[in-house]
Amino acid sequence: MTSLTKNAIKKSFMKLLNQKQVNKITVKEIVEDCGINRNSFYYHFDDIPALIEEIFNDQVDELVNNQSPSENIYDGIITAIDFALQNKTAMLHIHNSASRDLFDRYLGRVAQRTVSEFFDTMTDGGKNIVPEDREAFILYYKSLLIGFVVEWLSDGMKYDLTTKIKRVCELFEGTTEIAYKRCRLLEEE
């Protein structure tokens, strides 16, 4: 029953978030929408930001569990973009709210995982690469991905980001391989 209640709270919140801004949603509205009492809400969540954080954590976990390693650095971020598109109004409300840092952390985790996994797939686990070069590679591409999404959100999600990212991939095809070739290898012992 606890899991059902928790999921009902999340579903109600997302429904409301697709209708109005975060700061306009109250715990009272959430519990009325899902037919529970306030104590049930506070049993599961300290407050609305904690609820938002759990929803984003659930999305990251779902991404981790459902996505196989990619040969394309941008595939993982496309999954996050799809979630954002399915909840466009909600994402814009969070992006433009005091809870934006929660979305930024979510986006950072998705980008970190996507780029790390891509790099490790490309380099056979990255075990022969100097750790500082691996970190630099991941930081660079993670920052690019985050920048694309933040710019898109700041512009109101008015254009097709998936198409833009695919075009960027075409324009810069081969550059990840060049960067990888420049990575220093660990010395054989």
61-83 residue pLDDT tens = 777 676 665 666 666 667 767 77
Helix (H) or strand (E) run with residue 89 in it: helix 88-95
pTM to 2 decimals? Answer: 0.76
- Distance separating alpha carbons of residues 160 and 19, to the nearest angstrom: 22
Give the confidence band of 34 by pLDDT, cuts at 50, 70, 90: very high
Output phi, psi for 172, to 5 deg.
-110, 20
Please state, rounded to an integer, the average pLDDT across all residues of the chain: 85
3-state helix, strand, coil in the chain (%, to 5): 75, 0, 25
Model confidence at 54: pLDDT above 70: yes
Model confidence at 188: pLDDT above 80: no
Burial of 12 (0-12, 13-18, 19+ CB in 10 A): buried
Query: Which of the pair, 179 or 2, is modelled with greater confidence?
Result: 179
- Distance separating alpha carbons of residues 97 and 92, to the nearest angstrom: 8
